[in-house]
Structures are given as C-alpha cells and as structure tokens.
C-alpha cells in the first residue's frame, strides 16, 4: 500500500458508483446530468490514479486544484464553464463521501471554481419573435404543430425538452395553464397566453388526430410524422426551419425563445422572482443574467433621451 492509499473504504471507483446511483435514485437527476457527471468524475478518478491516490480520504485540497489545472491546460483544454461543471461534480462526490463517513472531511470546500466570463443570452426583439412565428404558416398538420410548438415556447419560457414532454392531460386550456416537467423531475404550472392557446387548440383539433393515426397511441401533445412523441432534435429543426422561412438573420438556437420570454417579461416590468418561478430556476441569481439585458436597453434609452445624460 502506497503512502497515500489510506485504505479501501473510500476507493474512488467504488464511491463514484455509489454517488452516481445516489444521484439517479434519490436525487432524481436527469439522464443528461448523470452522463455529464459520470464523464467528469471518471476524469477525476483517472487523475487520482495517476497521482497514486487510492482513497478519497487521502485527497488534499491541492490535489483538487491540480485536477482543475490539468483540465484547463491538458492536451485538449476545457473551457472555464466545463471546468466549473467538473468541480461541481467533484464537490458533490466529496460531500457524499463525507456524509457517509467514508472521508473525515470535505476537502473541496475551500476550492473555488475558475471565473467565468459573463455571457448575456442572445435574444430577439418582440418584432423579430413575431417574424419568427410567421415562419410557421399554412393549415397542414406539420405547420400547425410547429406553430403550436413555437407559440408554446415563447408563451411559457419552457425548455425544448419540457415542451416536447407535455402530455395532453398537462394542458388546461380553460384555465390557460400547462404543467411543465423540468430538471430533476421538478414540476411547475405556467400560464399560457391567448395566442399560444389558440395555436395549440388549432393543432390539437385539426392536426394531431391526423398525425396520431400513424402511431400506436401516445399521451404526448406534440407528435412527429409517425405519430410518436416529437423529439428535441426535431423541435430544434422546426425552430431553425421557421427562422429560415421567415428570413430571420439573427441566430436562433433551441433556447432563443426561452431567453426572449424572460427578457421581454423583465423589460415589461415583471419581478425577477416571478420570472424565476416561471423559468423553473432554483436560484434567482440564474435569472438575474436577464436583468443585465434589460438594464442595457434602459441605459441606451436614457442616454439618447435624457437632456443631461451626457453631461
């Protein structure tokens, strides 16, 4: 046994498996989160092995820092955001090990993540959103479905995965609300605007039955050409196709309408904590990135309109 083996109870590979099982079963983490954490933690396990560390109890704060440095300066350096995610995974692993008594303390407490550049989300103006929505025109089943999808995304701020995950029973068109299933299995009820209600109702009555005939029966609201649940990838292509048809020059991504939803609400005077709830953010600080966009627009108006703004 080497000097830093420290025993076998806290062997990194064993604790890693137990922690991932904990995330999946007890925390209800999404498959995407589990895959990301598994990738990061396998890198961490390999780093510890290369350093001759066979027990988490033998890990020091400097070992964590060295791991982060290696991620940033290795043959294929990771971005600061990816390193921050890796540190979050490592912290979770050590907290889990400390809680279960496999290590005497959590050595990751004092380790700070790399500073991240502030990146403002890309948004569209209200006029550009209208232009985008106009890219879904026609009375065919596909056009009606795509219009319902885009209207729902902009009206609710849903993630694309949440929108395609909506079932028929999740909609209450009389109350104009929809149940969204977010990250980690968390659910929230979100209001739906009248244009979105009209688009969803038109699709549900005139298009969905046509698409459903080709499938085996599914509770999903949005269906593909085979009558099965619409996928995230297909929804992304529908969004890009609408932007192309509308002649929209601005870059449009799967999160564009979610960003627009938040930015336009805040610009209209909505409270940031209300927007936080609507978006399903666990922390208000996540939502506050949108307030920078709003402040920037207010500053521009102020600079051009106030007589003493330049004085």
For the segment 285-294, the average pLDDT, to the nearest whole number, is 70
Which one is predicted more confidently, 298 or 216? Answer: 216
pLDDT tier for residue 1 given thresholds of 50, 70 and 90: very low
| Residue 120 confidence (pLDDT) | 58
Q: Name the CATH architecture for the domain at 128-252.
A: Orthogonal Bundle (1.10)
180 membership: H or E segment, kind and range: strand 177-181
SS3 content of the chain, % helix, strand, coil (to 5): 55, 5, 40
- According to DSSP, the β-strands at 171-172 and 187-191 are unpaired
Both tokens assigned to 180? 């969204």
Mean pLDDT of 257-282: 86
How many residues are listed for the chain in this entry? Answer: 311
pLDDT band at 184 (very low <50, low <70, confident <90, very high): confident
Q: How many whole angstroms separate alpha carbon 10 and alpha carbon 174?
A: 55
Greater pLDDT, 186 or 285: 186
Residue 2 pLDDT more than 50? no
Q: Which residues contact 280 (CB under 8 A, 6 or more apart)?
A: 162, 180, 182, 183, 186, 188
Where are the domains positioned within the chain? 12-99, 128-252
Which range of 103-117, 145-159, 170-184 scores highest in mean pLDDT? It is 145-159
Closest listed residue to residue 124, CA positions, set 134, 110, 111, 115: 134
Indicate if the pLDDT at residue 286 is higher than 60.
yes
Residue with tokens 């610009």: 267
Q: In the prediction, which pLDDT does 8 show?
A: 44
> What is the Cα–Cα distance from 171 to 250, expressed in whole angstroms?
31
DSSP category for residue 175: T
Q: Which residues are catalytic?
A: 159, 183, 255, 258, 281, 290
Q: Which CATH class is domain 12-99?
A: mainly alpha
Yes or no: say if 15 and 102 are a contact pair by the CB < 8 Å rule. yes
């Amino acid at each position: 046994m080497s000097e830093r083996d420290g025993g076998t109870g806290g062997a990194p590979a064993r604790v890693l498996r137990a922690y991932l099982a904990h995330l999946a079963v007890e925390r209800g983490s999404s498959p995407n989160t589990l895959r990301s954490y598994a990738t990061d933690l396998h890198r961490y396990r390999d780093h510890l092995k290369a350093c001759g560390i066979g027990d988490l109890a033998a890990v020091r704060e400097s070992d964590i820092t060295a791991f982060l440095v290696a991620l940033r300066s290795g043959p294929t350096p990771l971005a600061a955001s990816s390193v921050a995610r890796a540190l979050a995974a490592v912290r979770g692993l050590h907290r889990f090990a400390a809680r279960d008594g496999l290590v005497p303390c959590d050595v990751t407490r004092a380790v700070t993540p790399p500073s991240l550049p502030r990146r403002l989300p890309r948004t569209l103006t209200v006029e550009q959103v209208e232009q985008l929505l106009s890219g879904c025109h026609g009375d065919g089943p596909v056009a009606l479905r795509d219009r319902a999808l885009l209207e729902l995304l902009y009206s609710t701020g849903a993630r694309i995965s949440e929108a395609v995950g909506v079932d028929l029973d999740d909609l209450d068109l009389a109350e104009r609300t929809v149940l969204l299933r977010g990250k980690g299995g968390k659910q929230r009820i979100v209001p739906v605007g009248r244009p979105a209600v009209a688009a969803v109702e038109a699709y549900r009555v005139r298009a969905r039955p046509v698409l459903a005939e080709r499938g085996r029966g599914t509770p999903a609201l949005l269906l593909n050409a085979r009558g099965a649940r619409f996928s995230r990838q297909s929804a992304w292509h529908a969004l890009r196709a609408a932007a192309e048809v509308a002649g929209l020059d601005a870059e449009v991504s799967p999160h564009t309408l979610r960003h627009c939803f938040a930015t336009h609400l805040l610009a209209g005077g909505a409270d940031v904590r209300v927007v936080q709830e609507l978006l399903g953010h666990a922390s208000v600080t996540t939502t506050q990135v949108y307030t920078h966009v709003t402040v920037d627009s207010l500053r521009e108006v102020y600079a051009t309109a106030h007589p003493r703004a330049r004085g």
